[in-house]
């Protein structure tokens, strides 16, 4: 009996030691940033302070890697400005918070559709559309709700069914299907006409973002949770999972993309982060499964919207 207990204690101690070896502290991340000369800062924030299990629950995107670079294809890109940011044109809807649910794939997908709605209407004095992420989380059955989803499956769902306004199916941060959406969801649901992949290169992604904000995916490592500002590049930590976000611009001077996250406005740079171009070609795989939507939003859509938020002219 004593021998069995000794064996059990050795196994448990081994598990604890392995866990400790794989863990990374804030001080270790800060030291790695300094050592590698990275241009970003790490610190305590609402996401970093969450228990490990809760943090891992935020990264729920399934990377399928279907938009690999087409190295053999010769392309001529239009001349793009050295920096660009859709926020300056009032096109990007406010930062949201996915809460304790791996629904980032739905937030990034809906975020792109919301920006399209703003761009297609383009009328002074109107309001930001607030479309329902929960509709995708609950009813996009080819994805896994709070346990994750793929960008192409979300795009196909938006093409076939679309999504209504937030008030029709409010966000609950669960995969539950009940209560059902409002009875008029079919009439007010906004769809996309078509979608296509954006090849995973810096120039391809910039060219796509110049048309509209683009939903994309990548791999999150532990150090990313501690991001508080600057141009992120992976320096330390273990792989946590796949994540989806909305690319809204770029800055050649700092060699980075400008990105909208769905972890609330208190994380990062008021809910946004900047990420180095170099992270497209390393283990982070930024720009994976980027999707470009095409959609025509009819002007009568605004008649269904509650008067709560304003947006600026562009």
* 283, 208 Cβ separation under 8 angstroms: no
Q: Write the DSSP assignment of 196-249 as a string of letters.
A: EE--SSHHHHHHHHTTS-EEEEEEEEHHHHTEEEEEE---S--EEEEEEEEEEE
Work out the number of other CB atoms within 10 angstroms of the CB of residue 2. 6
CA 195 vs CA 152, 160, 293: distances in Å: 9, 12, 4
CA-based nearest residue to 307, from 186, 96, 129: 129
Instruction: Take residue 145 and report the two structure tokens written for it.
Output: 């709700």
34 tagged catalytic: no
CA 225 vs CA 5, 27, 56, 236: distances in Å: 38, 13, 10, 11
> Which residue among the candidates 67, 168, 234, 243 is catalytic per the annotation?
243
Beta strands in the chain (DSSP E): 40-42, 83-85, 194-197, 214-221, 227-232, 239-251, 256-260, 272-276, 288-294
> Which residue among the candidates 67, 101, 104, 256 is catalytic per the annotation?
104
Task: Report the alpha-carbon distance of residue 162 to residue 184 in Å, rounded.
Answer: 13
* 139, 103 Cβ separation under 8 angstroms: no
104 tagged catalytic: yes
261 tagged catalytic: yes
| Residues carrying an active site annotation | 104, 243, 261
């Amino acid at each position: 009996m004593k021998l069995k207990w000794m064996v059990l204690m050795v196994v448990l101690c081994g598990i604890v030691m392995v866990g400790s070896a794989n863990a990374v502290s804030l001080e270790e991340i800060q030291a790695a940033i300094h050592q590698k000369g990275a241009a970003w800062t790490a610190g305590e924030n609402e996401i970093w302070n969450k228990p490990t299990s809760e943090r891992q629950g935020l990264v729920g995107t399934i990377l399928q890697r279907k938009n690999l670079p087409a190295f053999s294809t010769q392309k001529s890109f239009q001349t793009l400005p050295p920096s660009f940011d859709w926020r300056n044109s009032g096109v990007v809807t406010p930062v949201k918070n996915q809460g304790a649910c791996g629904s980032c794939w739905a937030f990034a997908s809906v975020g792109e559709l919301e920006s399209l709605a703003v761009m297609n209407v383009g009328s002074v004095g109107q309001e930001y559309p607030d479309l329902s992420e929960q509709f995708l989380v609950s009813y996009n059955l080819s994805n896994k709700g709070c346990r994750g989803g793929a960008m192409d499956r979300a795009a196909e769902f938006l093409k076939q069914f679309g999504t209504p306004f937030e008030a029709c199916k409010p966000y609950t941060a669960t995969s539950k299907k009940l209560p059902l959406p409002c009875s008029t969801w079919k009439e007010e649901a906004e769809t996309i006409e078509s979608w296509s992949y954006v090849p995973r290169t810096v120039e391809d992604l910039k060219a796509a973002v110049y048309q509209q904000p683009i939903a994309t995916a990548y791999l999150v490592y532990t150090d990313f949770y501690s991001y508080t500002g600057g141009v992120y590049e992976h320096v330390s930590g273990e792989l946590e999972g796949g994540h989806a976000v909305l690319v809204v611009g770029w800055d050649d001077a700092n060699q980075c993309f400008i990105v909208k996250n769905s972890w609330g406005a208190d994380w990062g740079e008021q809910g946004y982060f900047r990420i180095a171009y170099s992270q497209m070609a390393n283990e982070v795989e930024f720009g994976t499964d980027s999707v470009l939507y095409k959609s025509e939003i009819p002007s009568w859509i605004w008649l269904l919207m509650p008067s709560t938020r304003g947006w600026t002219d562009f």
